[in-house]
């Protein structure tokens, strides 16, 4: 089992189980899991709230895409970040940190792209 107690906001936002929970709030099994986890780890509520907001904003930013398409894009981003050649030779203790840094960099680039796309669309309409 993953040690979510050590997760940062970015770690939560990159966690497929967490993303699914945010995107599918009616999934009772996921909701129960995260509610119990939050009850046992109340000191992480701020990170979880920020990560939920981040995932929610990013999910909303995919204009016109279905939930399955959004999940597919998230999966590709995470796969890309986790298979970056520079990370492979790293020590197992350093590898998650390096992956997180690459993820944040990709995430920042993606957000900038979405904002620019939004600005272009708003100028057109």
- The pLDDT assigned to 93 comes to 59
- The pLDDT assigned to 62 comes to 52
What is the number of domains present in the chain? 1
| Domain encompassing residue 16 | 4-124
Q: Whose CA is closest to 74, among 28, 14, 29?
A: 14
* 84 φ/ψ sector (left φ>0, alpha ψ -120 to 50, else beta): beta
- The pLDDT assigned to 35 comes to 93
Which DSSP string corresponds to the chain? ---GGG--HHHHHH-HHHHHHHH-TT-HHHHHHHHHHHHH-GGGHHHHHHHHHHHHHHHHHSTT--HHHHHHHHHHHHHHHHT-TTTTTS-TTTHHHHHHHHHHHHHHHHHHHHHHHHHHHHHH-
Residues of the chain with pLDDT under 50: 63
């Amino acid at each position: 089992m993953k040690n979510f107690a050590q997760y940062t906001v970015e770690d939560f936002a990159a966690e497929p189980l967490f993303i699914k929970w945010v995107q599918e709030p009616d999934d009772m099994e996921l909701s129960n899991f995260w509610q119990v986890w939050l009850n046992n780890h109340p000191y992480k509520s701020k990170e979880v709230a920020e990560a939920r907001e981040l995932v929610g904003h990013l999910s909303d930013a995919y204009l016109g895409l279905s939930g399955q398409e959004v999940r597919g894009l998230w999966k590709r981003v995470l796969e890309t970040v986790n298979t970056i050649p520079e990370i492979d030779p790293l020590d197992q203790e350093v590898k998650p940190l390096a992956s997180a840094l690459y993820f944040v960099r990709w995430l920042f680039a993606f957000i900038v792209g979405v904002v620019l796309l939004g600005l272009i669309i708003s100028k057109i309409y």
